[in-house]
Structure 1
Amino acid sequence: MLAILRHRWPAVAAAAALLGALLTFGTTPPADAAVPATIPLQITNNSGRGDPLHVYILGTSLTTGQQGWADANGTFHPWPAGGNPPTPAPDASVPGPAAGQSSTIRIPKLSGRIYFSYGQKLVFKLATGGLVQPAVQNPSDPNRDILFNWSEYTLNDSGLWLNSTQVDMFSAPYSVGVQRADGSASSTGRLEPGGYNGVFSALRAQSGGWGGLIQTRSDGTVLRALSPLYGLETGTLPTSAMDDYIDRVWQKYATTTLTVTPFANQPDTKYYGRVSGGVLNFTNGSGTVVTSFQKPDASSVFGCHRLLDAPNDEVRGPISRTLCAGFNRSTLLTNPNQPDTSAANFYQDAVTNHYARIIHDRMADGKAYAFAFDDVGHHESLVHDGDPRQAYLTLDPFN
């Protein structure tokens, strides 16, 4: 899958980008498949928690282009106009099943998010530009002390894409699934037994400030671990967290060529990188410089943005997402041919994205979206089908 998903965007843009990426790799459904306007979403609450569960289906209608929310029947409701300062959004919550129970709602053709929260409803507001998403890296965010999480999805005429994501944070555990027309099903995103607590324990044990990513409530309840990008922004991770590795990469490719083959289905499309004058220049097969990168910092690496910006084009974006994956997984020094898609080679350097390493280590199938381009090499926690019959969201135990 071409890795264009950018989870730090609004979910709508992320899902739309993911859709474009998937279609590039020929995952469209058979010509005679007809995806209905809504499909069932079965929500199973295996969390073991007694708190009331609140579910939200939010996004952009692929029929009208409007932002809004869906009710339990899959009916889409556009948001009313927002304000400055932002005004309270209508209550879009759907009651979720109690612990040990399942319930089924319908999801419409949207690019958006499926939020769920325990105990309290989430606070959503509307600005003049649309919905204000929760941003718990901000200590004054009204959702800071609420235990919640979300999945991202796109449902359109080409099928369903549904993922679990830890790009912004690791929190309430869940897995996703899809049932196909032949009755078979696939799922992903489930932690191994003990994996939820194991992630927090491993972060606390990792030197260098990684334990500071963990947020707790005043009563001691562990709520989440922020992504390392937000750790930088909140000051819990030092801005120099990746400097040593980045410096070594820049030094290596001053005398060695970095070969990037960004498209799995186009093995003859290659770009060649060399550092000159402190800049990493990439040339095509004719020797023409096609794009250049200044030396990135930790924020650029963890966020796959800024100095590693990845526009949705055919050259810079694909090269940048390959670099981003190589930096986060620390494979750029050990393999001059990128992307390196072998999980056995990931996170082997002492300087790496330990948040991503720790999460992947504790996933039952090894797959996760622990950074924006974690789908490079098919290591993402995503299910897709061109003719989906039912989607699944399973809330897993906190152990």
Structure 2
Amino acid sequence: MPSILRRPATAVATVLALLLAGTLFAAGSAAPAHAAVPATIHLKITNNSGRGEQVYVYTVGTLLSTGRQGWADASGAFHAWPAGGNPPTPAPDAAIAGPAPGQSKTIQIPKLSGRIYFSYGQKLVFRLTTGGLVQPAVQNPADPNRNILFNWAEYTLNDAGLWLNSTQVDMFSAPYAVGVQRADGSTASTGRLKPGGYKGFFNALRGQPGGWADLIQTRPDGTVLRALSPLYGVETGALPASVMDDYVNRVWQKYTTSTLTVTPFAHQPGVTYHGRVSGGVLHFTDGTGAVVTSFQKPDATSIFGCHRRLDAPNDQVRGPISRTLCAAFNRSTLLTNPNQPDTGAAGFYQDVVTNHYARKIHAQMADGKAYAFAFDDVGHHESLVHDGGPRQAYLTLDPFD
């Protein structure tokens, strides 16, 4: 079972990806000057859900100063997890009672890279292995959290500031928005659905043929809990493993006779790589003509997970190229634009073969932004707030329409 940092869309990877893309600071420039970031900051949680169940909140992650995994209480005090076992052992109860409907509650969050979970009606079940925390994995029917309504935001708070994002990389579930009050007193927020967007998403997914409706999970009483990501849909058999094959085959055919140009760094337009398919492999060359990295034809799990055949290490060549390809495959822009990344949302998801889960999520967001797959930040389409000197953060539990 996966541990706390199992996915590339954790807040740490968000920061690294932004740095690689040059979206935080241009190369050689200095970060904005702010007062020192305190050891903890306020997180104001507002319950606008309209639901009557008790809300539980959890702050879990990795303490940046030591690398230890653990949890934080409402005061922001960090507690390292005890040693786990095999089979996994119960974790300490890290639940914080959340605000009642229509109320707000402020807690402290420390310098972690991790997640802020919230659940309705029941506490989440966390367990510990010898390798660390076991998170909910509701694609597994036997997971004890399978019938609990919950969701989470991801954050990194460090000496350089706060990065806080909503995420649908693993699933689309209980609606919420995130925000930050900046050092100058202004606020920024993202992650909010349009009016009617929660039910609108599920209705749209139900209407999408090809197995996409089977991503939806419900409780035995019929309550809709979530929609799994298409990665988990393929892994569980809800989506056919061949769901992206037609598009991938057309891409491979196109770039057998034409060139795909990738310019992965917004602040370095002179750094380009050129891709051609030869012998069934997509090879990228640099300005000297030397092959710098190559990609086997990706399958659906590689595309939806941005891993395996589209692995993106934190380097300066393969990782940036791979994350660009991953975004282009999910958005289906490789046949319409040979110059990537394509940053214009109007051209996304236009092919009949695409990531319909991501398409329908973005269509329901008030600002159009979301983390519907791991590298949805390519081109600044991610639901992220950041400030180098945050006064406080916000988590708003939104209505279920």
- Give the 5 Å matches for 1:271-310: 271-310=273-312
Q: Show the counterpart of 2:149.
A: 147
Counterparts of residues 305-384 of structure 1 (less than 5 Å)? 305-384=307-386
2:130 is the counterpart of 1:134: no
1:3 is aligned to none
| Counterpart amino acid of residue 345 in structure 2 | A
Cα shift readout 1:69-101 (whole Å, capped 9, x = no counterpart): 000000000001101111000000000001100
Could you list the structure 1 runs, at least 4 aligned residues long, displaced by more than 6 angstroms after superposition. Answer: none
Which position in structure 1 is the counterpart of 2:95?
Answer: 93
Matched letter for residue 371 of structure 2: Y
Asked if the contact 2:9/2:169 (under 8 Å) is kept, the reply is: no
* Aligned mates of 1:178, 1:273 — CA distance in 2: 40
* Residue type of the alignment partner of 2:266: A
Judge which range, 157-166 or 19-28, deviates more.
19-28
Structure 2 unpaired stretches of 5+: none
1:107-155, Cα deviation, whole Å (9 max, x unpaired): 0000000000000000000000000010000000000000000000000
Question: Residue in 2 aligned with 1:390?
Answer: 392
Deviation at 1:33, TM superposition (A): 2.3
For residues 32 and 130 of structure 1, what CA distance do their matches in structure 2 show? 34
- Counterpart for residue 233 of structure 2: 231
Q: Structure 1 CA distance, aligned partners of 2:246 and 2:62? A: 41
Q: By how many angstroms is 1:250 displaced?
A: 0.2
Change (3 A) 1:11 1:108: farther
CA distance in 2, matches of 1:11, 1:124: 17
Instruction: Give 1:124's match in structure 2, choosing from 123, 126, 131.
Output: 126
Q: CA deviation at 1:12?
A: 9.6
Q: 2:15 aligns with which of 19, 30, 48?
A: 19
Alignment partner of 1:151: what SS? strand
Give the Å deviation of 1:182: 1.4
SS at match of 1:254: helix
Per-residue deviation, 1:39 = 0.2
Given that residues 12 and 111 in structure 1 are in contact (C-alpha distance below 8 angstroms), is that contact kept between their aligned partners in structure 2? no
Identity of aligned residues (%): 78
- Cα distance, 1:235–1:365 mapped onto 2, change above 3 Å: same
What is the CA–CA distance in structure 2 between the aligned matches of 1:22 and 1:248, rounded to whole Å? 30
Moved more, 17-26 or 36-45: 17-26
| Alpha-carbon spacing, 1:155–1:12, altered in 2? closer, same or farther (3 Å) | farther
Equivalent residues, number:
393
The alpha-carbon distance between structure 1 residues 23 and 263, as it changes in their structure 2 partners (threshold 3 A), is: closer
| 2:61 and 2:113 in contact (8 A); partners too | yes
TM-score by length of structure 2 reads 0.96
Secondary structure (helix, strand or coil) at the match of 2:328 reads helix
Counterpart-to-counterpart distance in 2, 1:300 and 1:257: 22
> What 5-or-longer segments of structure 1 have no aligned partner?
1-6
Distance 1:21 1:297, change over 3 A: closer
Partner Cα distance (1:358, 1:75) in 2: 39
| Equivalent residue in structure 2 for 1:66, among 52, 65, 68 | 68
Pick aligned residue for 2:81 from 75, 79, 82:
79
Q: CA deviation at 1:65?
A: 1.4
Aligned equivalents of 2:377 and 2:15: distance in 1? 13
Structure 2: how far apart are the matches of 1:11 and 1:130? 15
**8 Å CA contact retained: 2:361, 2:372:** yes
Q: Distance in 1 between matches of 2:267 and 2:155?
A: 25
Q: Secondary structure at the match of 2:204?
A: helix
When the two chains are superposed, the root-mean-square deviation of aligned CA atoms in Å is 1.4
Report the CA distance between 1:8 and its aligned residue.
9.3
- The letter for the 2-side match of 1:239 is A
**2:37–2:160 CA contact under 8 A, matched in 1:** yes
1:177 is paired with a residue whose SS is: strand
| SS of corresponding position for 2:217 | strand
C-alpha distance in structure 1 between counterparts of 2:83 and 2:9, whole Å: 20
